[in-house]
Structure 1
């Protein structure tokens, strides 16, 4: 999804504190755009800035939903910038650790994160996109996990660890060993993306979905993300304990009372996250 240039000055974050990402606010939706054209290749700086942005947005009450996308339509992200520099062992470790940190942050971030994927989604870009809670793909999106054909070991905690939990052993091995390109429809059939949207309708539909999600109950979203993640990071038993924990919190919340009242009064609820 191309970066929004039609926002009023008050709706865009100034001064721009980042080199490789752009942040825009529109109502309760914040969009983070990976901005390293032409293919938004990932660098240490980009990963550091993504982490910094999510840290800032966690405490920003006005943000209820985050959309993560890439600049332009050629690529969400084509993965690591292999031409940036020859990596030493130390820099490779730093890159790996930051990649893992971003994947972990997306999963543990307490607000819903929507990936808006246009064009190529490869390697590190694939890991980032798949870690998002909802993954919306334009009909022109393309996916690749061909690390074996570059001699690269995937090490961000996605392809070799999470992917089996997400789509199953056989499909994960098919992706990683065959390393072939997938179109958006194939990715949807495998469960990699939530839905496929025609290219011409993509920006409008992403905005519609993000607006809807931003109106959901913050406490419930926290419960959903934390409990679902616990099922494979910890155990089903740990997830059940979290379910109990969050249900007790939710049952006493103003948001639950507001949600029930709004349902009975046939109006949209106004949640406050408490």
Structure 2
């Protein structure tokens, strides 16, 4: 039986990934800081991944066939994981934000993110710095793992939508549009790629059990703009054009993922029209 360690996996789509791996008959262990219990039938280790000695003590002599790292945000965290974890393959949940410096008008392929120089001296433990440099932190984390000896895959996840979204970004739209308030957008809001919470859980569980390496984009077909999102909530939403502080998911650059590599590897994505209204209704129910 394949042994899988999931770092994080306690909320939102992460819990869904753990349940899918368990239900597929894998020997699953979750490691997190203990704020949320693991699903039934899953082993649970408690440690802070930033505490190298504590992480090593919690793991003991355990080794795994695959590690799925849901919560790696910096090269410092990646370096600790490389030193401590014993595994035959490493999969990291990355983000569409690694493309934040790309300027293009065609779907973005994985090769558009070059190997990033790693700087461990930056203030990665500062929450404000990390929030402002989210894409850079993920790029450098990818680079640390890619330079190691363990086969490595990076899943670059599109913007995730669904009723369980703790970030509140889709709820921002639902609440404003339902109240008749304006949605603040750029003068020419550009499209981006999205994926439902259920589908990204499916994809990450699938990616964990496959054997490919390298970066792979994950997102549903059918790019959306801020206008499209608002239109899924009401027939005639109201908009206000702003130069700054636009609503979340209003982008002033084209940010659509090319998902052909994932398709070639064998995964079939849905289309956003298949689930967008369901996601909106689930946000309403969760309010």
TM-score between the two structures when normalised by the length of structure 2? 0.29
Q: Normalising by the residue count of structure 1, what TM-score does the alignment of the two structures yield? A: 0.30
